[in-house]
Structure 1
């Protein structure tokens, strides 16, 4: 890992308490198994490593987004909604409608999303809201794509999966949230710079592959095919360890892509004669994204969800969570 750690936000324990209080106040029901899993997931740790300098208010808000996102992820990855395309489509469509403000929320997950969106978008520009909406919706619909693949017995190609994973890892919305705590608001012209796009993609690719390496043991037991280690083993043959080693080499290469994109973005800023607040904002992204990558890497090495996977969790058969009830 070529990037130095930027430390952990000192507000981590306050954020942990705030997340569980928020979940209770929003009637987000977690079974005993789900509670244990969330405790082992430690969303407050990821947020505190990714945003070590965020204010307590921002840290709490971002952690609550992550708490909500993990509930969504576990429902669609492990529950029946992830194996029934129609059920999956209906659940995601409802969430997207609530996110867009075109549907009154019904059920605790929808009410929680509505509250998060209101707090997050307050004071943000329409262009930022559009970006955050696009990235969040793109993440949600990846669950539907995977549900259809499961039922159809389709396994994606490695190239197709790289594109899919870029959205499914959900790093892009948190890169948008970074702008809140950084006090910046990128114009569309800056978002359209090739090197800025490449930098975001590399950061997301690193997170997705790191997660796949750490999640492989549990997902292989589930028969979950949307994992890069599994695809590498399928395409190249050999042992699981050889596939993991190859994935590790890919991870190092992606870190090099982050560095290359940083250099190219600095060159593009100069070539386009970008100055003022836009230049400051882009330079802040260059400065902070390395810490995002390192924080994500450190989280996967520390959270019990990945360091000590509890394979007994997959034995529980989930019905559709009451949080998702229509």
Structure 2
């Protein structure tokens, strides 16, 4: 069962496709998750199959060579487990997340995980070993920085959840890009298409406009699908909740407004593609791959995954003050009601 996404699929310059070896990617990612003990028993395996992160990788990277596509399938699988650790699991407090961040520190320096590290960290260590042989020192510095930004953003999201106060829309726009996990995923996209971009090209405003539009389109769409699950987990960094809180909208009107914002960001993505300078083959491959990534992400959500239907069985209950949008603290616009 999929929750409502954008009212209509945003117009994109490419059509969603699926990697021809999608089934193999799924088998590879599941075996990898089992090897690093991310999966414990049949229920974990069924939950992973229902979430289908490897299917998501197959949708986002339809043209990647198989070895790199397998790496991406493992990366997406790992990000799902990381999300669950703080949304539903024991990592969802600022103290616990600080401990998580400390354990990540050697990995961010491309060192092995500490002895006795939990499965999540050993699995990331394996991914980084695989990435190391495919990338330059400059790419590795960029990727580590993006991972560190994401970890810091998660802490901020936990702080907002604990306070029961959504961020402002202005803060959300930046924070959600980092909590989404798409910034390092877009780094890996370059690896998957064997088209690592030099800093001057990657940092160019026109390419950054493309990346930001892609991330926003995906992350904001995800907020529509994951809304009920995130409310159940007490999360408040969701575009719909922020529009309700800041603009005094009903739930229905907030969804409608979010959909319109997604459509506009998808249009920005198309405009950014057209503004790129032609003739740079690696840049062209990456830019086209970014568009396919967005199309695949939206198609994966629309096709149906029950990752967003409910928290995992056995996750810690969330206090009512953190789950009821009417009980969010802090100032809000007058006239707010729910649809």
TM over 0.5, shorter chain: yes
Q: More deviation in 284-293 or 55-64?
A: 284-293
Q: Secondary structure at the match of 1:81?
A: coil
Is residue 9–residue 48 contact of structure 1 (8 Å, CA) maintained in 2? yes
2 CA distance for matches of 1:314 and 1:62?
A: 24
Partner SS state of residue 63, structure 2 = coil
Q: Which residue of 2 aligns with 1:297?
A: 298
Corresponding residue for residue 281 of structure 1:
282
Q: Is the 8 A contact 1:94 1:103 kept in 2?
A: no
CA distance in 2, matches of 1:49, 1:314: 24
Residue 138 of structure 1, CA deviation: 1.6
Structure 2 residue 216 is the aligned partner of structure 1 residue 205: yes
Asked whether 1:317 is paired with 2:326, we answer no
Residue in 1 that maps onto 2:65: 55
- In structure 2, the partner of 1:157 is 168
Task: For residue 94 of structure 1, report the CA deviation from its aligned partner.
Answer: 0.7
What TM-score, normalized to structure 1? 0.87
CA distance in 1, matches of 2:58, 2:241: 30
1:70 is aligned to 80
DSSP-derived class of the 2:276 partner? helix
2:37 match = 27
Aligned CA-pair RMSD: 2.0
Q: Which runs of 5+ in 1 are unaligned?
A: 270-274, 320-326
Q: Which runs of 5+ in 2 are unaligned?
A: 1-9, 318-339
- 2:272 counterpart of 1:261: yes
**Structure 2 residue 30 is the aligned partner of structure 1 residue 10:** no
CA distance in 1, matches of 2:264, 2:209: 14
- Is the contact between residue 79 and residue 318 of structure 1 (CA under 8 Å) also seen in structure 2? yes
User: How does the TM-score come out when normalised to structure 2?
Assistant: 0.84
Q: What is the aligned length?
A: 305
Q: Please, which of 195, 203, 207 is the counterpart of residue 196 of structure 1?
A: 207
8 Å CA contact 1:166, 1:204 repeated in 2: yes
Distance in 1, matches of 2:50 and 2:42, equals: 12
Cα shift at 1:174: 1.6
**Among 256, 262, 268, the residue aligned to 1:245:** 256
Match of 1:231 in 2: 242
Q: Check the 8 A contact 1:209/1:247 in 2, yes or no.
A: yes
Relative to its length, the structure with more helix (as a share) is: 1
Partner Cα separation in structure 2 for residue 154 and residue 239 of structure 1:
17
Q: Offset at 1:189?
A: 0.9
User: Is the aligned partner of 1:90 residue 2:99?
Assistant: yes
Whole-angstrom distance in 1 between the partners of 2:71 and 2:251: 39
Q: Is the 8 A contact 1:99 1:113 kept in 2?
A: no
Q: Aligned pair in 2 of structure 1 residues 315, 236: CA closer, same or farther (>3 Å)?
A: farther
Distance 1:30 1:73 in 2: 17
Instruction: For 2:110 and 2:68, locate their aligned partners in 1 and report how far apart those are by CA, in whole Å.
Output: 23
1:93-136 alpha-carbon deviations (Å, 9 max, x no partner): 21232232356432222111111101012131111111211122
